[in-house]
Amino acid sequence: MNGTATLILGLALIFTMWGMGLTLVIDDFKRVFEKPKAIFLGLINQLIFLPLIAFGLLKLLPTNPEVAVGIMILAACPGGPTSNLLSLLAKADTALSVSLTAVTSVITVFSIPIIVNIGLENFAGDGKDIQLDTVKTIGTMIIVVIIPMIAGMVIKNRVPDFAAKMEKPVRVISVILLALIIVGIVIKERAHILDYFAQAGILALLLNSITMLFGFGTSRLLKLSGKQAVTISLESGIQNGTMALMIAGTLLANVSYGIAPAVYSLIMYFTGGFLVNLFLKNKI
């Protein structure tokens, strides 16, 4: 991948995480102790069950290495800021959503190398010798995830009016950047795109649907409220696609690994919107 594309991917993620930081306050992290059951279940679904479900699907439905590794990269990523917006639209537990997104964004800095390397070892085919450098990956993720997020939080604390005004523009620009990156991947991989999309589409839809249903089901099983259940469902299924594309294109330098995350990023908007509409109509 050329230097310009790598720079764009990195800057897009930095901008997205800075924008997320503009919506965060310290209380969003303190909420881990205020709502331990809901937070713990959300974290377990996001950090453990999501990668396990992805791994199981890939074993049951073998696909080409590029799609398989892309699915594992996506499953290693935290929830995306979009989940916060969808929780707000659904009138679910937005505070819980924000807390889960914030906490998983920090934890996955350290778990991403482990999960992605498991994916590479099991599904990369002839490229099994490819591995993410753990130390380099953690260092990179701290630079493009943690530091921008903290910078956004500092601005939110010191200039709250500016942060509030920037929320909507940043969200819109983040979506546009993700769309442009996806278009770039489609153009670069146009020779294989139909085959990749067909395979990735089925797996992405299954992974997204199963994780969202699993998140909702486990929440109700533990007697969480309907609002909390919808929130955890969205957090389980709405991933940070920009981060997945950055890992594929920059850290692994293989745009083909970005096909599955790109397809997933498109699908999750439709399934997330469907869940929001269902909740608003039925007040689950």
Q: Given this model, what pLDDT does residue 113 score?
A: 94
Comparing CA positions, the residue from 167, 172, 45 lying closest to residue 96 is 45
| Residue 282 belongs to a domain | no
In a domain, 125, yes or no: yes
Reported as a single tens digit per residue, the pLDDT across 179-197 is 887 777 777 766 666 777 7
Range from 95-104, 128-137, 273-282 that averages highest in pLDDT: 95-104
**Inter-residue contact 242 to 18 (CB < 8 Å):** no
> Is residue 210 included in any domain, yes or no?
yes
- Residue 21 is assigned to a structural domain of this protein: yes
Q: What is the rounded distance in angstroms from the CA atom of residue 121 to the CA atom of residue 70?
A: 13
pTM flag (> 0.95): no
What local confidence, expressed as pLDDT, does residue 90 receive?
Answer: 87
33 within a domain of the structure (yes/no): yes
Q: What is the pLDDT of residue 42?
A: 94
For residue range 220-236, what is the model confidence (pLDDT) as tens digits?
Answer: 999 999 899 999 999 99
Per-residue pLDDT, 123: 92
Number of domains present in the structure of the chain: 1
Higher-pLDDT residue of 210, 28: 210
Residues 258-270: tens digit of each pLDDT: 889 989 988 998 8
Read off the pLDDT band of 208 (50, 70, 90): very high
> Which one-letter amino acid corresponds to residue 166?
M
Q: Please check whether residue 145 is in contact with residue 243, taking contact to mean a CB–CB distance below 8 angstroms.
A: yes
- In this structure, is residue 247 part of a structural domain? yes
Supply the DSSP string of the chain, one letter for each residue: --HHHHHHHHHHHHHHHHHHHTT--HHHHHHHHHSHHHHHHHHHIIIIIHHHHHHHHHHHS---HHHHHHHHHHHHS-B-HHHHHHHHHTTS-HHHHHHHHHHHHHHHHHHHHHHHHHHHHHH-GGGTT----HHHHHHHHIIIIIHHHHHHHHHHHH-HHHHHHHHHHHHHHHHHHHHHHHHHHHHHTTTTHHHHHHHHHHHHHHHHHHHHHHHHHHHHHTT--HHHHHHHHHHHH-B-HHHHHHIIIIIS--GGGGHHHHHHHHHHHHHHHHHHHHHHHH--
Query: What's the mean per-residue pLDDT of the chain?
Result: 87
| Average pLDDT score over residue span 102-122 | 93
Domain assignment present for 284: no
11-20, 52-61, 263-272 — most confident range: 52-61
Q: Which pLDDT band holds residue 109 (cuts at 50, 70, 90)? A: very high
CATH for 55: 1.20.1530.20
Domain range spanning residue 67? 3-277
